[in-house]
Amino acid sequence: MSFSIGIVGLPNVGKSTLFKALTKKQVDASNYPFCTIEPNVGVVAVPDERLDALSKLNNSEKTIYTTIEFVDIAGLVKGASKGEGLGNKFLANIREVDAILQVVRRFKDKNVIHVHGEVNPKSDREVIDLELILADLEIVSKILDKANAKIRGAHDKNDEKYFKTLSKIKNTLESEKMISTLSLSEEEKLLIKSLNFLTLKPMLYCYNVDEEEVNDESQDGIAICAKIESELAELSDVDAKEYMESLGMKETGLNKLIKESYKALNLITYLTSGPKESRAWTVEIGSRAPQAAGKIHTDFEKGFIRAEVINWKDLLESGGEVSAKEKGLIRLEGKDYIVKDGDAMVFRFAN
């Protein structure tokens, strides 16, 4: 399972520079607004030392990582919900992503213009948050008009529930609050799922900081220096490691972002490994064994019998599957087993 993250922010906050560093893909990152017009898309493999270790243990022919798709979208300005800048064209490009990464400028550089004339992270966040709220409000208002007409014509209970849910959402948006602040039941979430509301998506905040702030731990977001990340992207693994050590960096911005993305989307990883391939599979927290098996193939879920499960580290320290079985470390789990992060699994199913 792969997932997608839309990178948004005001013009000239370093979105495209960060995208280039994260994906090691060349994009235009010039110093003027709306440099990015069509969205840039880059797919990144999620590094996983656990998978690497199991692949080496089993001498796997292939190692397949989970992937993240990053979508870098044109700079958002005040009035975007009304069509300012690239307006609705921009907003349409992020309705399909799983989460939104808001890049906020904290670096100070007189050579890089700020669209509002001064560096003010709090104000910049408020501008973008409000534009997303207004964009959702515009959509819900249009749909409510149609829903009203439908209810008057036919008294369907599902239509009434839909109308009530949308009305509740509209009231929240009119209060300049995101839909994510609203308590919605699973039924209500299902009713509005197809609408892809922007402010219902998980929102991550990334502060693009100066080099001396690269190790700053912001309480409400991730501190990343896009300039340093760009430099790291151009270096070999050995040189990049030495450079990070000299700066006191424990991990790259990509790794920070991956961790926060998994938390925001409630995701974990289980592993499969053998001579042919070792592979990472991403599932939601709380997934049961048959659901996890279904990620490999729908037939695995339909015909699920049991799963052989062992923690990846126990498997590694045992020296392999045969030895792990001899030590009694591999468990047999049924349909109700809830998959844990780092499980190494083999599924048995009926054809």
CA distance 183 to 156: 24
Q: Pick from 106, 128, 122: which is nearest to 178 by CA?
A: 128
Give the mean pLDDT of 32-41. Answer: 54
HEC secondary structure over 137-179: HHHHHHHHHHHHHHHHHCCCHHHHHHHHHHHHHHHHHHCCCCH
Residue 207 has pLDDT above 70, yes or no: yes
Q: What is the pTM of this model?
A: 0.85
Of the pLDDT bands very low, low, confident and very high (cuts 50, 70, 90), residue 37 is: very low
The residues facing 68 across adjacent strands are: 3, 44
At 303-323, the pLDDT tens digits run 999 999 999 999 999 999 999
Instruction: Classify residue 330: in a domain, yes or no.
Output: yes
The domain in which residue 330 lies consists of: 286-349
At 232-275, the pLDDT tens digits run 989 998 999 999 999 999 999 989 999 999 999 999 999 999 99
Instruction: Classify residue 325: in a domain, yes or no.
Output: yes
Residue 32 has pLDDT above 50, yes or no: no
Instruction: Classify residue 95: in a domain, yes or no.
Output: no
Instruction: Classify residue 206: in a domain, yes or no.
Output: no
At 92-132, the pLDDT tens digits run 778 889 999 999 999 988 888 777 778 899 999 999 999 89
Instruction: Classify residue 209: in a domain, yes or no.
Output: no
At 323-350, the pLDDT tens digits run 999 999 999 999 999 999 999 999 999 8
- Provide the domain count of the chain: 1
Instruction: Classify residue 332: in a domain, yes or no.
Output: yes
CATH of the domain at 332: 3.10.20.30
